[in-house]
């Protein structure tokens, strides 16, 4: 009889105890909730994504600097490689300056869209998001023109480079292409949010999605500042 009671107690105790994996998951989930208390999940997850993306871009840029400082062949002069013919003269970095101006301007229009979102001015926020998407599409188009000029006119390839070190093409196309992919995805994201905003999908909310979209777009603009400094000015 005593043995039966002991076995029954052990079975009840084992049934009440959660598996170690579930216990660990519950503890992690509870700590996340306490840490991010008061922060909407959409914004928190966007920050998590941006932090992880920051590590990726950092690895790319640090790798670029390591390759450039370790190569024995002369690195191409950006003023010559990225020069653009205008009015019969070769203007250094003209296209890159226009691209940078457009992307920084889009950051300004996105900031104004977020402000309109705070004020729940749906039409103004939607229009500014569409302007931001247009500027982003212009940036991507100019980058495609820059790539075509380097590949078709200058003969730059990921494995070769007529201007000097052959590693230039590989790191340039990889980093700028990865950033261009982010801008292209951002344009699609902006258009989607503008369409849903226009249709009233967020009328019952506080238009927080506009701020979340702005976080992503400002991140893309900030990354370009580092790319511009390291690839075109160094």
Q: Which residue ranges make up each domain of the chain?
A: 41-233
Query: What is the longest distance spanned by two Cα atoms in the chain?
Result: 104
Instruction: Tell whether the model's pLDDT for residue 230 goes beyond 80.
Output: yes
Question: Can you tell me the distance from the alpha carbon of 136 to that of 186, in angstroms, rounded to the nearest whole number?
Answer: 8
Instruction: Select the more confidently predicted residue: 155 or 39.
Output: 155
Question: Can you tell me the distance from the alpha carbon of 213 to that of 187, in angstroms, rounded to the nearest whole number?
Answer: 10
Superfamily of domain 41-233: Cytochrome c oxidase, subunit III, four-helix bundle (1.20.120.80)
pLDDT of residue 42: 81
Instruction: Tell whether the model's pLDDT for residue 22 goes beyond 70.
Output: no
Q: Tell me the average pLDDT of the chain.
A: 84
Query: How would DSSP label each residue in 175-218?
Result: HHHHHHHHHHHHHHHHHHHHHHHHTTTTTTTTSHHHHHHHHHHH
pTM for the whole structure: 0.81
Question: Can you tell me the distance from the alpha carbon of 65 to that of 44, in angstroms, rounded to the nearest whole number?
Answer: 32
Taking the alpha carbons at both ends of the chain, their separation in whole angstroms is: 85
Those residues with Cβ within 8 angstroms of residue 228's Cβ, 6 or more apart along the chain or in another chain: 96, 100
Question: Can you tell me the distance from the alpha carbon of 182 to that of 54, in angstroms, rounded to the nearest whole number?
Answer: 12
pLDDT above 70 coverage of the chain, percent? 83
The partner residues of 84 in beta bridges, in order of sequence, read 91
Question: Can you tell me the distance from the alpha carbon of 99 to that of 182, in angstroms, rounded to the nearest whole number?
Answer: 15
pLDDT of residue 4: 46
Q: CB of 112 within 8 A of CB of 99?
A: no
| Number of alpha helices (DSSP H) and beta strands (DSSP E) in the chain | 8, 2
Instruction: Tell whether the model's pLDDT for residue 216 goes beyond 90.
Output: yes
């Amino acid at each position: 009889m005593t043995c039966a009671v002991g076995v029954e107690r052990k079975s009840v105790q084992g049934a009440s105890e959660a598996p170690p994996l579930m216990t660990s998951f519950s503890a992690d989930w509870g700590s996340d909730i306490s840490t991010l208390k008061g922060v909407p999940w959409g914004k928190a997850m966007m920050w998590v994504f941006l932090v992880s993306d920051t590590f990726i871009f950092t690895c790319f840029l640090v790798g670029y600097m390591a390759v450039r400082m370790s190569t024995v062949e002369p690195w191409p002069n950006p003023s010559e490689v990225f020069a653009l013919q205008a009015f019969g003269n070769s203007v250094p970095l003209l296209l890159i300056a226009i691209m940078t101006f457009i992307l920084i301007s889009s950051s300004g229009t996105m900031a104004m869209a977020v402000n309109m979102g705070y004020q729940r001015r749906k039409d103004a926020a939607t229009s500014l998001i569409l302007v931001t998407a247009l500027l982003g599409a212009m940036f991507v188009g100019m980058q495609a023109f820059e790539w075509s000029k380097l590949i078709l006119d200058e003969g730059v390839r990921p494995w070769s480079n007529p201007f000097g070190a052959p590693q230039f093409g590989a790191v340039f196309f990889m980093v700028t292409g990865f950033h261009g992919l982010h801008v292209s995805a951002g344009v699609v994201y902006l258009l989607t949010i503008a369409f849903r905003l226009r249709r009233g999908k967020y009328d019952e909310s506080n238009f927080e999605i506009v701020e979340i979209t702005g976080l992503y777009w400002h991140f893309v603009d900030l990354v370009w500042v580092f790319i511009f400094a390291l690839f075109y000015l160094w």
